[in-house]
Amino acid sequence: MAKSAIASLQPEASNDRINTGLKADYRRSMSKDLSEILAATYRLTIKSHIYHWNVVGPIFKPIHELTEEHYNELFGATDIIAERIRALGHLAPVSLGMASDFAPTKSDVDQASAHDMVADLIKDHEQAVRDMRKAATTAGDNNDSVTEDMLTARLTFHEKALWMFRAVIAD
């Protein structure tokens, strides 16, 4: 009996029996896109947190406060994105082993000015916007308003973050 209880807790990799009006091929493809967006969100969360701890200079306080606000928002977004992948019938990514590949190194942080850190975050937020915009368009084309709305909300956050970061480092 214990084995069957444990087996019932194992998540299904996919469930092609889902009948919500979204085709299985679309759900599989969108789950893959959302998994990549989820990984990028983790990258931004980690970078924002590391830069939050290590930023120095005359604009320390606004960057310190902004990155704290952002990493908290980004961390919350990871749950929303992962849950959408599950709702589409697929497993959310289970490995974060790649984290060491995208976190800034000690020497990167030691040599980065506050401006460099913000410029790096801007680059990553811009990529996130491009990827999310593409996925949102695909979701809309497939009548997946839930995913499209979720991505629209995420885009709103990232575009506001870009505006704020640009304003902080403006001459």
Q: Is residue 15 part of a domain?
A: no
Q: Could you tell me what percent of the chain has a pLDDT over 70?
A: 80
pLDDT in tens, 52-87: 999 999 999 999 999 999 999 999 999 999 999 999
Per-residue confidence (pLDDT) for residue 18, from 0 to 100: 82
Q: How confident is the model at residue 138 (pLDDT cuts 50, 70, 90)?
A: very high
Q: Is residue 2 part of a domain?
A: no
The 10 Å Cβ neighbour count of residue 21 is 8
Rounded Cα distance between 46 and 37, Å, is 14
Predicted TM-score (pTM) of this structure: 0.84
Q: Give how many domains the chain has, as a whole number.
A: 1
Q: Is residue 10 part of a domain?
A: no
Q: Is residue 12 part of a domain?
A: no
Query: Comparing C-alpha atoms, which of 65, 53, 66 is closest to residue 125?
Result: 66
Q: Is residue 53 part of a domain?
A: yes
Q: Is residue 5 part of a domain?
A: no
Q: Is residue 54 part of a domain?
A: yes
The CATH number of whichever domain residue 50 belongs to comes to 1.20.1260.10
Structural domain for 126, as ranges: 33-169
